[in-house]
Structure 1
Amino acid sequence: MTVAERDLALLTEAARAAGEVAMRYWKNAPKAWDKADSSPVTEADLACNDLIMGILRRARPDYGWLSEETPDDTTRLRTEHQFIVDPIDGTRAFIAGEKHFSHSLAVAHNGKITAAVVYLPALDKLYTATEFGPALRDGQPITCSRKSLADQPNILTSKTALDPQNWPNGVPQFQRSFRASLAYRLCLVADGSFDGMITFMDAWEWDIAAGSLIAARAGAKVTDRDGLALDFNAPAAQSAGTFACAPLLHDDLISLLQ
């Protein structure tokens, strides 16, 4: 078993354990408040974070740690491997009692994601991948769609992405859909449910780390909004947007931005 495969098994264990914790709070009026950046957080986010961190760091004490719900410690920049975690991605959906929230867990090595898990406990749906293995949903291989912009693709994105100022060569025509969890959006591209997902806004690494590998291993093309490869464990822990699409569709959209 490779290092990435061992890491994947550990991530899966932690994600499923977090799912049990999250489901005890879901639809049970968890305490919630806004953080300094106005994003919501709940007692469930913190409980899941503590559980995941305990499982992962006990097993890999030499790995760095980056999580939405833990103050950033720059010592991660000097480690060879890092855990990148969003304890609950889609907190607004979680608070609203919707099913499309997820636990997003990944390992990075030299700036690249090597193992990834996205688990949706309310749906009991598990997406996984390693750097050289297939993308899987509940243990079965998945592949992205093969559509281009001419094929009337269905793209997961927010309404703000259709602002003409984002598209200097004209706003492309496509069907628009949305899911609260950015990690889940990437997985829905991976399994072919949607043809792409795009966000122009800077994306936190914990939102996209796991899903980006799963989408890429399913055959999708995944870059930032400039068409450049994603790089992880950066000091700012953000990417310049995220485009993850069927390969032809990705190239069509990026060409409209140049």
Structure 2
Amino acid sequence: MLNIAIKAARRAGDIINQASRNLDLLNISKKSRSDYVSEVDGAAEEAIIKILHDAYPSHAILAEESGARGAMAQAEYQWIIDPLDGTTNFLHGLPQYAVSIALKHKGLLNKAVVYNPNNNELFTASRGGGAYLNNQRLRVSKRTRLEDCLIGTGIPFRDLTHLEAYLKMFKDIIPRVAGIRRPGSASLDLSYVAAGRYDGFWEIGLAPWDMAAGCLLIQEAGGLVGDLEGNDSYLESGQILAGNPKVFAQLLQVIQPHLSQALIDNHRNAKNTSTAV
């Protein structure tokens, strides 16, 4: 199954690379405020779905552009796909975007592929089998002091409901760390945590397809992933914190005092939904 996912990611990467040479010719539309989609997103997604469906016609699929296919709640296998994570970067010619494909088996993340077609970096993971970058084993960083750490993040841009709470977190984290980066592709950010390039990461307002593959990569590389209260409902709530075990705990302490009631309610509702399912 991992090999099929790699095949699908590379096929999507070929489509993206070809389109990147003629950005001015693309048809672009808006899904919502500051949220763009191009014909490349759709073409890459359909290529991924075709490869997955041809190999596993009974599997359910949740994809960013086309939504859910199959009985997601009842299906033993569920693919979670973002065909082009970082569309805004792509449309501006900024080479920071990726294809993200994850597989859930009986409700647990089981396979992960994040592919950066710009530099042919292929991040992969299997539950219990470790995480890899182009066949080289990955481990999260070993830094223990927050002041030495490079932290990744994503600034809210679609839904600004929690912007004030986020900015309070940002302001409190800045003087405590070596640096903060916001490149604009969550799947790559999470992959960088797994690779030890970042020591930690946090973001508010993500979708499952933004996170699923990257989360398994981090866990298989020895890191921790949770929501902003440290619980496991991040895929449902869209609020995520990740890092090596030492950094995860320290970031959690900095972030938690700035959680708004709306964020707390969001986490609790997501946790209840997850438990109910």
> Aligned ranges for residues 121-136 of structure 1 at < 5 Å?
121-136=117-132
Secondary structure of 1:107's match? Answer: strand
Counterpart of 1:81 in structure 2 is 77
Q: Could you tell which deviates more after superposition, 155-164 or 145-154?
A: 155-164
CA distance in 2, matches of 1:240, 1:119: 22
Q: Is 1:61 aligned to 2:53, yes or no? A: no
Relative CO higher for 1 or 2, CA cutoff 8 Å, sep ≥ 6? 1
For residue 248 of structure 2, the aligned residue among 228, 239, 250 is 250
The equivalent residue for 1:241 is 239
Aligned residues: 243
1:107-154 Cα distance to aligned partner (Å, 9 max, x none): 012322100000011111100000011110011001111223444211
Paired with 2:47 and 2:214, the residues of 1 have a C-alpha distance of 21
Q: Offset at 1:62?
A: 1.2
Q: State whether residues 76 and 107 of structure 2, in contact with CA within 8 Å, keep that contact through their aligned partners in structure 1.
A: no
Residue 229 of structure 1: aligned partner: 232
Equivalent residue of 1:77, what SS? Answer: coil
Please state how far the C-alpha of 1:162 moved relative to its aligned partner.
Answer: 5.5
Secondary structure of the residue aligned to 2:68 is coil
Give 1:27 deviation, angstroms: 3.5
Which secondary structure state, in structure 1, belongs to the residue aligned with residue 48 of structure 2? helix
Helix, strand or coil at the partner of 2:61: strand
Which residues of structure 2 form unaligned runs of 5+? 156-162, 258-277
For the 8 Å contact 1:127–1:137, the answer to whether it is kept is yes
Would you tell me which structure has more helix in proportion to its own residues? 2
- Normalization by structure 2: what TM-score? 0.82
Alignment correspondent of 1:141: 137
8 Å contact from structure 1 (residues 27, 95) kept in 2: no
Q: TM-score, normalised by structure 1?
A: 0.88
1: CA distance, partners of 2:199 / 2:34: 31
Query: What value does the CA root-mean-square deviation take over the aligned residues?
Result: 1.9
Unpaired runs of at least 5, structure 1: 1-6, 233-237
1:73/1:11 Cα in 2 relative to 1: closer, same or farther (>3 Å)? Answer: closer
Which of 202, 207, 211 in structure 1 is aligned with 2:214? 211
**8 Å CA contact 1:144, 1:219 repeated in 2:** yes
Partner of 1:198: 202
174, 180, 184: which one pairs with 2:188?
184
Which residues in structure 2 correspond to 1:29-48 (within 5 Å)? Answer: 29=23, 30-36=26-32, 38-48=34-44
